[in-house]
Amino acid sequence: MEGLAVAAIAVAFYIAWNIGSNDSANAMGTAVGAGILSFRQATLTIAIFVLMGAYLRGYKVMKTVGKGIVPEGYLTMEMAVIALLAAGVWVTIATVKGLPVSTTQAIVGGVIGVGLATHAPVNWYTLGKIAAAWVVSPVLSGILAIFLFRFYGWVVSKIKSVSTIEALYKALAILGGSYMAFNFGTNEVANASGPLVGAGFMEPKVAGIFGAIALSIGALTFSYAVMHTVGKKITSLGPVSAFAAQFGSAIAVSLANFFGLPVSSSQSIVGGVIGVGLLAGEGVERGVIRDIVFGWVATPLTAIVISLAIFKAFSLVGLV
C-alpha cells in the first residue's frame, strides 16, 4: 500500500504539472501574447492566484471529479492512479505539439475508462451535464468577450492621456489574468486532485495545495509553447481584446464553479479569443482552430482508450 501511495502522489504531481504546462496559457496567454506581461511575470501571478483558488474554492469540483462520475466507494487508489496516468500521457503529447487541449476532458475520460474496465457504475446523468457545460462554456465565453470588448473599447476611447491608457491596459491584464488564474485553481486543480480525494487519500484543502504547487511548477517550466499558441497563433490581440477574452472566459468558468462542473478553461479562453478576434476584424486562423477542435474531440475518447489499455496492462502483471 505504501508503494501505491507513492505512485498516486507521483502521478497526481505529473498530471498537475501537465495542467500547468498546458492550461496556464488560459490565464495569461493573451496577456503574454499582447506583450503586456513577460512570461515570468505571468507565471508568478498564476502561482499566487491558483493557490488561492485551489485552497479556498476547489472542493466543489474535486467532489464532482472524484465522486460524481464513479460513485463514492467504487473509485479505488489503483483506479485513481490509472485515470490520472492516462490523462497525463495524452496531455503531455498535446503540450509537446503546442495544442491547448482540455485536461478536464482527459481526466473525465480516464475516470470513465477505469469505471468501464472494472464494471463500476458510471453516473451518465452527471456526465451529460459536464458534456453540456463543455459545449456551452466556449460559446458563452465568446459572447461575454464580445460584450466586454465593446464596453472597454468605449471606455478607452474616452481617455485622452496616453500614460493613463497604458496604466489601464496593465491593470486590465493583471486583473483579467488573476481572475482567470483564481478560477483555474478552483476548477482545473480538481482534475489532478479530484481522483485522490475520491479514493479517500487526501482531504480537499491538502489536495488543493499539493495540486496548486505542482501546477505552478508546470507553468514555470513548460508552458511557453501553448501560451504562444493562445496568445499569438489564433488571432492578433491588443490589450483590450486580450482583457475581454480573459475576463469573458473567467466569468464563464466562475458560473461552472458555482454548479461544481469541471469545465475546460482551454475551451473557454479559445472561445473568448475567437469572439474578440472576429469582432475586431482581425480574422481567425482556421487551420489552428481546426487543430484545436480536433484535440477537444479526440481528448476524452483517447483518454478512455489509454485508460483501458493501462488497466489491461496492469491486470496482466497483477497490479490490479
Q: What is the DSSP string of 31-92?
A: HHHTTSS-HHHHHHHHHHHHHHHHHHHTHHHHHIIIIITTTTTT--HHHHHHHHHHHHHHHH
Dihedral (Cα; 133, 139, 141, 143), 10-degree rounding:
-140
Q: How far apart are CA 206 and CA 316, in angstroms?
A: 34
Listed range (2-16, 43-57, 107-121, 124-138) with the worst mean pLDDT: 2-16
- Structural contact between residues 261 and 169, judged by C-beta atoms closer than 8 angstroms: no
pLDDT confidence bin for 235, thresholds 50/70/90: low
What is the Cα–Cα distance from 51 to 82, expressed in whole angstroms? 25
| pLDDT value for 299 | 87
For residues 47, 65, 228 and 152, what is the CA-based torsion angle, rounded to 10 degrees? Answer: -80
Quickly list DSSP for 163-179.
HHHHHHHHHHHHHHHHH
With cell 484545436, the residue in question is 292
pTM over 0.85: no
Largest distance between two CA atoms of the chain: 71
Average pLDDT rounded to a whole number, residues 24-45: 78
Q: Burial letters for 2-23: b for 16+ Cβ neighbours within 10 Å, e otherwise?
A: eeeeebbbebbbbbbbbbbbbb
Q: How many domains does the chain have?
A: 1
Centroid of chain to Cα 5: 25
Helix residue spans in the chain (DSSP H):
2-23, 25-33, 39-57, 59-63, 77-96, 103-117, 124-157, 162-187, 189-198, 204-222, 224-228, 239-258, 265-279, 286-316
Q: What is the mean pLDDT of residues 217-231?
A: 76
pLDDT at residue number 39: 83
Rounded Cα distance between 23 and 176, Å, is: 15
Domain that holds residue 138: 1-317
Q: Is the separation of the CB atoms in 172 and 37 below 8 Å?
A: no
C-alpha cell at 300: 476524452
pLDDT tens-digit readout, 118-149:
888 888 888 888 888 888 888 899 999 999 99
Tell whether the torsion through CA atoms of 160, 163, 167 and 173 is positive or negative.
positive
For range 207-235, the mean pLDDT:
78
